[in-house]
Amino acid sequence: MRIWIEGEERDGLGAEIAAGARRLREGGSAPRFLAPQHSALLLREAVSEEEYDRTYSRLLQMRCGVDTGDFNVPRRKGPAGMLAGWVRALLWRVLRYQHERMALQQNTINELIAAAVEFERQRRRRETGELRRRIEQLEKAAGSGGGTG
């Protein structure tokens, strides 16, 4: 399979997609979108408030989606556990449309909140920059005025 994105052939992407589809057909689970390096523990490594804000905003946007995809239903050992697991799986399939509807609403809210946080961060950076420029101008004006008195 050949895949072209923006006029450029992406070697290996087709094989990766085919392998993922094969894994799903065979009863496997979809690979997690987020890797371990997308952990909130990254916030501990921030050395400045700006870096913390940037990391927080990026992680918030990456993690704002609720996933209703299939997953392995936990089961206890023995016949009772097998029966309970089967019932849970059946209920999930029957009620999934409700979960998807609620997840869509929640995802919309989450995306709006993440966007609001990012807009607030950008606004605060602009205001801080403007205030710094004004302070510099006032200090220059006060210093070049020679002082009166």
**CA-atom Rg of the chain in angstroms:** 26
Among 23-37, 105-119, 127-141, which stretch is predicted with the lowest mean pLDDT? 23-37
Residue 4 lies in a domain: yes
Dig out the tokens for 132 from the structure.
Answer: 């710094």
Instruction: Select the more confidently predicted residue: 115 or 34.
Output: 115
Burial of 42 (0-12, 13-18, 19+ CB in 10 A): middle
* 139 and 71 in a common domain: yes
Tell me how many domains the chain contains: 2
Supply the pLDDT for residue 31: 47
User: Are residues 25 and 83 both part of a single domain?
Assistant: no
Coil/strand/helix, residue 5:
strand
Distance CA 83, CA 75 (A): 9
The reply to whether 68 and 17 lie within a common domain is: no
Note whether residue 48 is domain-resident: no
- Six token digits for residue 137: 């101008």
Query: In this predicted model, which residue has the larger pLDDT, 92 or 27?
Result: 92
Q: What are 60's two structure tokens?
A: 């918030």
42 neighbors 49 (Cβ within 8 angstroms): no
Note whether residue 101 is domain-resident: yes
Nearest Cα neighbor of 68 from 35, 106, 41 is 106
92: in domain: yes
Same-domain status, 73 and 131: yes
Q: Where are the alpha helices (DSSP H) in the chain?
A: 13-25, 49-62, 78-144
**136 and 70 within one domain:** yes
Lowest mean pLDDT among 7-16, 24-33, 73-82, 134-143: 24-33
Range of the domain at 93: 64-144
